[in-house]
Amino acid sequence: MTTAVQPTRRARGSQGNVGAEQSLWLIRLVIFVVVILWMIPTVGLLISSFRTPEAINTSGWWTVFANLFDGAQWTFQNYQDVLSSEGFGNAFLNTLAVAVPSTVIPITIAAFAAYAFSWMDFPGRQWLFIAVIALLVVPLQMALIPILKIYSSVGLVGEFLAVWLAHTGFGLPLATYLLRNYIGTLPSSLIESAKIDGADHFTIFWRLVIPLSVPALASFAIFQFLWVFNDFLVSLVFLGGTRDVRVLTLALNDLNGSRGEAWHLLTSAAFVTMALPVAVFFSLQRYFVRGLTAGSVKG
C-alpha cells in the first residue's frame, strides 16, 4: 500500500508544478501584452519626433515601417528647433525653481506632522489627523479662484512663492497620510529605547525616524516632483504667460502656436522634457515599491 501511494503523490505533485508553471507563463504573457499596449503611444510619439512635418501631415507614424530606410522622412530638425527656441532653456530653469521647493517643502512639513501624529500624545490628535485626511477630497480646481483672489490682494500673482504655497497646500494631506502610515509602523522599541537614553523628540525624529523613512520619503518625492513638473493649470493661473516666469508646460503650449500649426514640435519637445522626470524616477525606483507597500500591513 505504501509503495502504491507514493507514486500517486508524486504524480499529483508533478501535475501541480506543471499547473503552476502554466499559470506563471499566462501571467507573464498578460503582463507582456499590457506593456506592449501601454508603450504603443510612446513609440508613436518617439517616431513622430524624428519625422518631417510633411511626413507627419500626410501619413501616420506606423507607415514608417514600410519605408524604414527612406531618409526623406527622417530629420533632427524638430529637436534643433525645440532646443534653440527662445526662452525654452529659461523655462526649464523656471520649472526646476518651481518643482524642487514644491517637493521639498511639503515633504519636510509632512514628515514633522507624521511623526507627531504617530509618536506624540497631545489633545485632539486623532481629530486633527481626520481633518488632514478630509482635505484629500478637496479638488484643486474648486480652490483656484478663491486662492487667486487672496494672492491678488497680497501681490503674489506671478511669483514663484504663489506656486510653492499652492502645491504645498494640496500636497500636504497625501504626504502626511503616507508618511504617517509608514512612520507609525516603526518598532516602538526603538523609540522607547531612544527616550530611555535621554533623546528628545527632535533627536529621535532627525537621527532615527528620518533615516528609517527614506523609502517612504522617496516614494512621495517621486509623486510630488512628477506632479509639479508636469503641472500646467496651477502655473497658468498663478504665474500667467509672462516669459520671465513661465515653466516648461507653458513654453510647450506657446511652442505649439495659437492654431496648433507647429504641433509636430511637441513630439520632440515632449521627449526633451521627459529626460529629467525619467531620471528622477529611475534614481529613486528602488525605494518606490518599498515606500508604497510599507505601512500597508503591520508586522
pLDDT in tens, the chain (299 residues): 555 555 555 555 555 566 677 788 889 999 999 999 988 988 888 888 888 888 888 888 888 887 777 777 788 888 888 877 767 778 888 999 999 999 999 999 999 999 999 999 889 999 999 999 898 888 888 889 999 999 999 988 889 999 999 999 999 999 999 899 889 988 889 899 999 988 899 999 999 999 988 888 988 888 899 899 989 999 999 987 677 888 988 888 877 665 556 677 788 888 888 888 888 878 777 766 665 555 444 44
The DSSP string of 227-293 is: HHHT--HHHHHHTTT-TTT--HHHHHHHHH-TTSTTTHHHHHHHHHHHHHHHHHHHHSHHHHHHHHH
What integer pLDDT is reported at residue 7 of this predicted model? 57
Determine the pLDDT at residue 261: 63
The predicted pLDDT at position 53 comes to 84
pLDDT of 14 reads 58
Contact 288, 222 (CB under 8 A): yes
Helix (H, G, I), strand (E, B) or coil at 85: coil
The grid cell for 172 is: 500636504
pLDDT at position 278 = 82
CA nearest to 119, candidates 23, 243, 209: 209
